[in-house]
Structure 1
Amino acid sequence: MSRVMFTIGPFTIHIYGLFLAIAFASGIILAYRRCAAKGFSVDRALDLFIVILGSSVVGARLLFVLVSPQVFLNDPLRIIRIDQGGLVFFGGLIGAIAGSILYLRYHGLPILSTADLLIPSVSLGQAIGRLGCHFNGCCYGIDWHGPFACHVADSVNSAMVYQRFPVQILSSVANLAIFGILLYMDRKQSWNGKILTGYMILYSASRFSLEFLRGDDRGLFVGPFSVSQIISLCIMVAGILLMISKRKQNDERSEVIAQAGS
């Protein structure tokens, strides 16, 4: 399968770059509509989207370079060719979080409630982005000769084709399911940070599990676990602790209100 969608003069449109653009556009449109519906400043939202877009791409690329430096030894300029793949989601998430916190603190805006507005867009974008990984032939699965096996060409010799487990498709489906769960949780929103913690726990559990089905080179490992799995565990624990803390605060607040009303 060709990784190039089409060429217009000197410009080449890669499949991965196209799906990445669709993922960002879909996420921004959804977030814009959610912000407008919840009364969040549309102007602030647009500024924040720009910050998130830039910081997430930089973070995603930097983490990929850190865990897979050998890819760029012979051609350092490839670092800027993000349209060809090579983005680590957790790097993008860390970059987006850092950029968002700086922006929100600077403008005195609430962090958790804003995160609740934006997080569903992340899951939707991931679901679309993983389809781009599938068509690009990156982030592929382990050797697999069972049902639904997909064919992935060797990165060096395209004539060599391997059968792989369609982990990108499964990841896309998992993210779409998480997206649906988050929207359902939003209908029963009871405390700030609920959607954020739900995402932290659900996505981390999904990513940790699916990493065992990955067959591509993911750089550094700590024992049997990849860097992404270690980060997943940390985020899952942080999500659980945040959930416990916020629920406790919410229960205490409800108790105070009940006592005041009696």
Structure 2
Amino acid sequence: MDPVAVKFGPLEIRWYALCIITGLILAVFLASKEAPRKKILSDDIVDFILIAFPLAILGARIYYVAFSWDLYKDNLLSIFAIWEGGIAIYGGLLTGFLVLIFFTRHRFIEIWDFLDVVAPSVMIAQAIGRWGNFFNQEAYGASVSNLDYLPEFIRKQMYIDGSYRTPTFLYESLWNLFGFVLICVLRRRKKLLKQGEITLFYLVWYGVGRFVIEGMRTDSLMFLGLRVSQWLSALFVLLALILFFYRRRKDIPYYQI
């Protein structure tokens, strides 16, 4: 499949960008619908995205370049050629979180409430965004003998360099989609989840899935024997579990449904 969706003369719009934008629009829509339950204005969601999204793209690029420095050190101008690929979701998430800290303080919003509203939306956006990797033929795993269990259009796209490749992009997309559905069900159960636990659920669910699936990939950034994303995934899971048990001992209100 051509990674370019539409051409207008020299201007190209890629499927990757369309997947990211589609996920973003859906995420904003869903978060805006949930926000009033936590007494957060829908405009606050939109304002946050308008600030955080471009900075998150920048952070995702900086993260990728930092851990792939050998690819850029001899040609520094190539750092700015983001259209050639090279962004990392964890860099975007970390940047978005830093923006969120300042944003919620400025708007006088409880940060845990804001996180609980946006976390499920981030998960569904990631599920959609992973299909951008499908069109770019990236984020795949080792060679396999066949992919007969998949639809033909996926099998054809995963035939790379003379062999079928493990569609890790698909595994992560489905993992995030299932996590999104599960978290939406759980947050409607009365007196089940406390404030902040939707966010902690996201960190554990995404972290566990990313750690396992990242281990299957062959194109990941490496650090000290493991993939960088595996280190971060393990850290986020551990941090989330510590916060969960610590906050459960406190008088934390339940998530309002």
Determine if the TM-score, normalized by the shorter chain, exceeds 0.5.
Answer: yes
Letter in 1 for 2:143: D
Contact 1:32 1:42 in 2 (8 A): yes
Which residue does 2:92 correspond to in 1? 92
User: Which structure is larger by alpha-carbon Rg, 1 or 2?
Assistant: 1
Which residue does 1:102 correspond to in 2? 102
C-alpha deviation, 1:47, in angstroms: 1.5
**What fraction of aligned residue pairs are identical, expressed as a percent?**
27
Secondary structure in structure 2 of the residue aligned to 1:195: helix
Q: Any gaps of 5 or more consecutive residues in structure 1?
A: 155-159, 255-262
2: CA distance, partners of 1:93 / 1:239 = 15
Q: Residue 46 in 1 paired to residue 46 in 2?
A: yes
2: CA distance, partners of 1:59 / 1:101 = 15
C-alpha deviation, 1:46, in angstroms: 1.9
2: CA distance, partners of 1:200 / 1:12 = 35
Structure 2 counterparts to residues 209-248 of structure 1, below 5 A: 209-216=212-219, 218-223=220-225, 225-248=226-249
Structure 2 counterparts to residues 44-83 of structure 1, below 5 A: 44-73=44-73, 76-83=76-83
C-alpha deviation, 1:76, in angstroms: 4.1
2: CA distance, partners of 1:125 / 1:173 = 12
2: CA distance, partners of 1:5 / 1:77 = 26
C-alpha deviation, 1:211, in angstroms: 1.1
2: CA distance, partners of 1:78 / 1:32 = 37
C-alpha deviation, 1:122, in angstroms: 0.6
Contact 1:27 1:121 in 2 (8 A): yes
Q: Any gaps of 5 or more consecutive residues in structure 2?
A: none
Secondary structure in structure 2 of the residue aligned to 1:13: strand
User: In 2 relative to 1, CA 26–79 (structure 1 residues): closer, same or farther, beyond 3 Å?
Assistant: farther
Letter in 2 for 1:172: S
Which residue does 1:258 correspond to in 2? none
User: What whole-Å deviation, never above 9, does each CA across 1:128-172 have from its counterpart, x for those lacking one?
Assistant: 011111111111111112334554576xxxxx4432001111110
2: CA distance, partners of 1:36 / 1:11 = 40
Contact 1:17 1:83 in 2 (8 A): no
Q: TM-score, normalized by length of structure 2?
A: 0.87
Contact 2:186 2:193 in 1 (8 A): no
User: What whole-Å deviation, never above 9, does each CA across 1:75-107 have from its counterpart, x for those lacking one?
Assistant: 544434445532211111100101101111223
Number of matched pairs: 246
2: CA distance, partners of 1:16 / 1:82 = 12
Of 109-118 and 242-251, deviating more is 242-251
Letter in 2 for 1:173: L
User: In 2 relative to 1, CA 128–82 (structure 1 residues): closer, same or farther, beyond 3 Å?
Assistant: farther
Letter in 2 for 1:221: F
Structure 2 counterparts to residues 1-262 of structure 1, below 5 A: 1-73=1-73, 76-147=76-147, 148=150, 151-152=157-158, 160-188=161-189, 190-216=193-219, 218-223=220-225, 225-250=226-251
Secondary structure in structure 2 of the residue aligned to 1:2: coil
User: In 2 relative to 1, CA 150–233 (structure 1 residues): closer, same or farther, beyond 3 Å?
Assistant: farther
